[in-house]
């Protein structure tokens, strides 16, 4: 499902929002998650999961085209951990 299909499904399921309102709500939801993670905080949605930031240490990798060793710098990456209820549904 892509963003367009998600918006269509949300609009149909909610029965209270127009498509334009659904787009604004989804965009706001995504922006709030991005802003919160940028501050280094977590977003916890009970029954669904947790969005957080994980720090990866610097490491040595290999360029698959040349075989040369390369240094990969330390970085922060977004992480999502599914909640128990969500895991049970997908199982």
Q: CA 37 from chain center: how many Å?
A: 10
pTM of the predicted structure, to 2 decimals: 0.80
Residue 68 in 3-state DSSP? coil
Read off the tokens for 12: 């149909």
pLDDT score of 17: 86
Can you give the pLDDT at residue 60? Answer: 96
H/E run at residue 49 = strand 49-56
- Domain assignments of the chain as residue spans, ordered by start: 1-39, 42-91
Architecture of the CATH domain 42-91: Irregular (4.10)
Contacts with 82 (C-beta within 8 Å, 6 or more apart), sequence order: 48, 49, 90
Question: pLDDT for 8-67, tens place per residue?
Answer: 999 999 988 899 999 999 999 999 999 999 999 999 999 999 999 999 999 999 999 999
Phi first, then psi, for residue 77 (nearest 5°) are -130, 145
| pLDDT of 91 higher than 90 | no
């Amino acid at each position: 499902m892509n963003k367009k299909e998600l918006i269509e499904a949300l609009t149909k399921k909610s029965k209270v929002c127009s498509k334009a309102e659904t787009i604004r709500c989804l965009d706001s939801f995504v922006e709030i998650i991005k802003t919160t993670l940028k501050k280094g905080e977590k977003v916890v949605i009970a029954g669904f999961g947790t969005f957080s930031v994980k720090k990866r240490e610097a490491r040595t990798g290999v360029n698959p085209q040349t075989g040369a060793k390369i240094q990969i710098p330390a970085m922060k990456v977004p992480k999502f951990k599914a909640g128990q209820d969500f895991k049970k549904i997908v199982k």
